[in-house]
Structure 1
Amino acid sequence: METIIFLAINIGVCYLIAKSGEKRKIGFGWSFFISLFLSPIVGGIITLLSSKLETNIL
């Protein structure tokens, strides 16, 4: 039972990190993948180190 709760929390944290990666060069998918398979801490650091996408407002 504790494993399921831990897994749900881990996936939730990975999702939040991936949402922050949407507006970065790394993207949602890679942020989620790295966070899920390495760790959310490593995934968060890599996501934050990725450069932001440029937005052209006309």
Structure 2
Amino acid sequence: MELLLSIDSSEWDGGSGSWMPVEERDPAVGRGGASTGVAVGRWGKLNVFACPTDPGHPHLTSSQ
């Protein structure tokens, strides 16, 4: 199975800052990066996997 799609409730975690937008590096401006407008479960992440050899196989999902 290969990762087909990843949907996250936030754009960055607020702690690492590894790819945080420049405009939001000031803690007073950006607090958690939840600007996607999507809430997966309890603000988690949804991954969808597909079989690369046979598109007839069902997709698998993983929620974190």
TM over 0.5: no
The structure showing larger relative contact order (alpha-carbon pairs under 8 Å, at least 6 residues apart) is 2
TM-score, scaled to structure 2: 0.24
Q: Which has the larger radius of gyration?
A: 2
What's the TM-score, normalizing by structure 1? 0.25
Higher helix share: 1
Give the structure with the larger strand fraction.
2
